[in-house]
Structure 1
Amino acid sequence: MTKVLGVSFVALAAAFAMLGPTSNVDAEDALPIIVTLGDSYINSYGVAPTETFAARLKSALAAAGRPATIVELGYKATSRTGLTWLAETKDGLELQANPANHAVILELGQNDCARIKLDETRANLDHILALLAEKRVPVLVVGTAAYDYCSSALYAGHGADYAGPFSRMFSELATKHGDLLYPDFKEGVTGHPELLQADRDHPNAAGDAIIVTNMLPVVQTLLARIGHP
């Protein structure tokens, strides 16, 4: 589900479009919009709504004097579903048609290892970034570390060298498209059980707080790129 603290992406775009020249809020004054396109990590699986990554990022940006609207698209399981959202859905096409004042945080690929070959993951992410680059939407590419089982021979076609190329893929794609990079979503959280949920994978509320603190400087840089070629 696409949401902006309960407001749909299309409704938000329509509201901005309806603002006339006599409005106190014009295109230049409207808050920048950060779209989070990702999986259960960035969508804060298992965390209370008031303590999620998005909620904490919104508060942190406001406290830093850089307020922004955060649009949560909801859970996109794989790079394939993320590409489908952008390239084929009503909301994704709306973003492409009205890209002004938008930025995207892209965090996808973690769930691909048991479902999609690495070459396809790379191609899907490459396509997403190419579409956004064409519309001059600034992007923060957020990487993740591959699960240990991703290099298991049980997953035919992935091979024992999956984890290394997987981790490098994010920096390579960010460099290719001139995007910002945050190498590992769980930096500062991995290896700290007290910051993880019972599944030993997803960050808990305290973990999300640390992630937001660590990521905040690069998100501020992302916002500074809005409106610049």
Structure 2
Amino acid sequence: MTTSPRRLLFVVAGLTVLAALSGCSAVAAERSAAADAKAASADHAAATVTAVAIGDSISHGRGVLPAQAWPEQVAAAHKWALDDVAISGSGFVKPGWDGFTYDAQVETAIRLHPRIVLIAATRNDLTIGDQALRAKAVELLGRIRSALPEATIVGTSAVWGDNTPPARLAAVDALVHEAVTGVGGTWLDLGFPLAGHPELLQADHIHPNAPGQMVVADVVERALDAARITG
């Protein structure tokens, strides 16, 4: 797979985050990386990619090297040329660290014209009401399908940490599930593979560490295989 300018940028950004992972310096580093990554995606929007990942900090791979994020691992396993445009803090309705919701990621995905779109439900939308979340999820999935009528759209349930998830998470997943299948996409229920395994989480008990990302990637790969999605 050819290394894109944005993939090289993520390597640099990932190392910066690891070097300043604690305190305000980590926040500043990732905010800067998010802005730079967004600009880089726009710069090479004409590049050919097989798949795009839309999501939050877990899809982005916060706290681990870019290649260790689960979308990158899945792409490598399936030999996809992936552009991971996920941004920390973002959701369908919740603005991320770049100040934008999933809207901006969807715009980037459409410009890249991939064959596969991975889009993740997220804990960042836990405080969003049903009506607002449903409306935005339906809008964004409809936009993807309209612009990319031949693309394979794959939605995934939110990745939770090592403790018991709130009941609200099931409702968030259900609303995104509805929007994904409503445009003929495939829904992957990942369950809670990290539950009860603090050794797979970073100190915040939210973000998977490198082994945790590997576990999530394995669950996604097996679900893709079961759905007969190979790219």
TM-score normalized with structure 1 length: 0.67
Of 164, 167, 175 in structure 2, the residue corresponding to residue 169 of structure 1 is 175
8 Å CA contact 1:113, 1:146 repeated in 2: no
Other-structure match for 1:207:
212
Matched, 1:70 2:87: no
Of 106, 118, 131 in structure 1, the residue corresponding to residue 119 of structure 2 is 106
Of 81, 103, 113 in structure 2, the residue corresponding to residue 84 of structure 1 is 103
**Runs of 4+ with >4 A deviation:** 10-13, 145-151
CA distance in structure 2 between the aligned counterparts of 1:12 and 1:143, rounded to whole angstroms: 29
Of 46, 49, 60 in structure 2, the residue corresponding to residue 14 of structure 1 is 46
CA distance in structure 2 between the aligned counterparts of 1:173 and 1:139, rounded to whole angstroms: 11
CA distance in structure 1 between the aligned counterparts of 2:85 and 2:175, rounded to whole angstroms: 23
The secondary structure found in structure 2 opposite 1:79 is coil
Distance 1:192 1:150, change over 3 A: closer
Matched, 1:44 2:44: no
Could you tell me which runs of 5 or more consecutive residues in structure 1 were left unpaired when the two chains were aligned.
Answer: 17-31, 62-66, 152-160, 225-229
Q: Which has the higher contact order (CA 8 A, sep 6+)?
A: 1
CA distance in structure 2 between the aligned counterparts of 1:70 and 1:177, rounded to whole angstroms: 22
Matched, 1:54 2:71: yes
Could you tell me which runs of 5 or more consecutive residues in structure 2 were left unpaired when the two chains were aligned.
Answer: 11-39, 94-99
Of 114, 120, 126 in structure 1, the residue corresponding to residue 138 of structure 2 is 126
CA distance in structure 2 between the aligned counterparts of 1:36 and 1:113, rounded to whole angstroms: 20
Deviations 1:144-199 (A, max 9, x none): 27899997xxxxxxxxx744422322332232222111123x63212211111111
Other-structure match for 1:197:
202
Other-structure match for 1:29:
none
Distance 1:15 1:150, change over 3 A: closer
CA distance in structure 2 between the aligned counterparts of 1:12 and 1:173, rounded to whole angstroms: 29
Deviations 1:111-157 (A, max 9, x none): 1223x323211211111111111121221111127899997xxxxxx
Max Rg structure = 1
- Deviation, structure 1 residue 54: 3.4
Distance 1:75 1:214, change over 3 A: same
CA distance in structure 2 between the aligned counterparts of 1:163 and 1:93, rounded to whole angstroms: 28
- Deviation, structure 1 residue 84: 2.4
RMSD value over aligned CA atoms?
3.1
Deviations 1:37-65 (A, max 9, x none): 0001111111123422233223322xxxx
Give the percent of matched residue pairs that are identical in Structure 1 and Structure 2: 20
